[in-house]
Amino acid sequence: MLGLLALVVTLALAPAPALLSFWYVAVPLLPASFFISPALWRGICPLSTLNAWGNRLGPARELTAREAAIAGAGGLVLFHLIVPARHIGLNTDGPLLAGTLVAVCALALLAGARFASRSAFCNALCPVLPVERLYGQAPIVPITRGRCDSCSVCTPRGCLDLADDKSMRQVIGPARNRVEWLRTPFGCFAAALPGFIVGYGLTPDLPAAEWMRVYGATLGGSSISYVVVRTLVLAAGVAPMRAVTACAGLSGALYYWYTAPVIVRSFALAPAVTPAIRWLAIAAATLWTVRTLKSESARA
């Protein structure tokens, strides 16, 4: 929480170093930590702390299955709104990013005050949650949940802290064993994410007036990715969760492929660092994918 407060203040008063450290040090470390175990970040996330503080403010009630589904879809929408917004201000405008962080903090606090435990924000509305679920299908390091002393089953299904590697399977539901997985919200997210990353990675930072170009790039990339994945799945008869795993591994490799040169450029590192990061990411993503596919085979 002190780190979050320092970040918000620094973004407002001295934006340049704060933007650099947030976008090109802290944020690039998150996807890697999700592959290792989502519990690493979920244990120290300041938004999770605010969610917990919110629990003390009001008569929180249980989230119904319908409300959980709607809130989960809301988290997907927030992801697709906030990430492209980096290109139209959040990457370069410190006060704007500070305001956005404060707004998300308020959402976490209010969700905690209205609904029980971590059900509404950490397990539904959080814009980072979809990536945590996708990359956390097969944690490399087993870490027990640290936020909840006991489980109240506040989340109808798919709690990452309780279900762990089964979270993605649970939110997709019964369709995880049929081709209908591609029609579920999280199935669509998994199939579209590789193209979303490519669309984002190929788009430069632009003035806010160019917002249609930015969102068009990510939406177009997502649409192409979904069509390609759906075509391959139908043509080759790939098992649903194996396809989800492949999408996760590819997305992780693509993320670092496009992030590597930006990090190198931002810190004026040697050009040779770019291919080093890229090939390390490809190797790590490949090993994770093979390991996860083996566990899927054993589970089947």
Neighbours of 201 (CB within 10 A): 17
Round to whole Å and give the CA distance between 116 and 159.
13
- For residue 259, the Cα-to-chain-centroid distance in whole angstroms is 15
Of residues 254, 256, 257, 243, the one with CA closest to residue 292: 243
User: Which domain does 184 fall in, by range?
Assistant: 2-135+151-299
Of residues 147, 88, 149, 151, the one with CA closest to residue 122: 147
- 143 within domain boundaries: no
Helix axes 240-266, 27-36, angle to 10 degrees: 150
160 neighbors 167 (Cβ within 8 angstroms): yes
- 19 within domain boundaries: yes
Both tokens assigned to 63: 């989230």
- 285 within domain boundaries: yes
Round to whole Å and give the CA distance between 252 and 260.
12
Per-residue pLDDT of the chain (300 residues; tens, 9 = 90+): 999 999 999 999 999 999 999 999 999 999 999 999 888 898 899 999 999 999 888 777 888 888 888 998 999 999 999 999 999 999 999 999 999 999 999 999 999 999 988 888 999 999 999 999 999 888 888 777 667 777 777 787 778 887 777 888 888 888 777 888 999 999 999 999 999 999 999 999 999 999 999 999 999 999 999 999 999 999 998 888 899 999 999 999 999 999 999 999 989 999 999 999 999 999 999 999 999 988 776 565
- 140 within domain boundaries: no
- Residues, the chain, total? 300
- 142 within domain boundaries: no
- 69 within domain boundaries: yes
The DSSP output letter for 24 is I
- 146 within domain boundaries: no
- 141 within domain boundaries: no
Domain count, the chain: 1
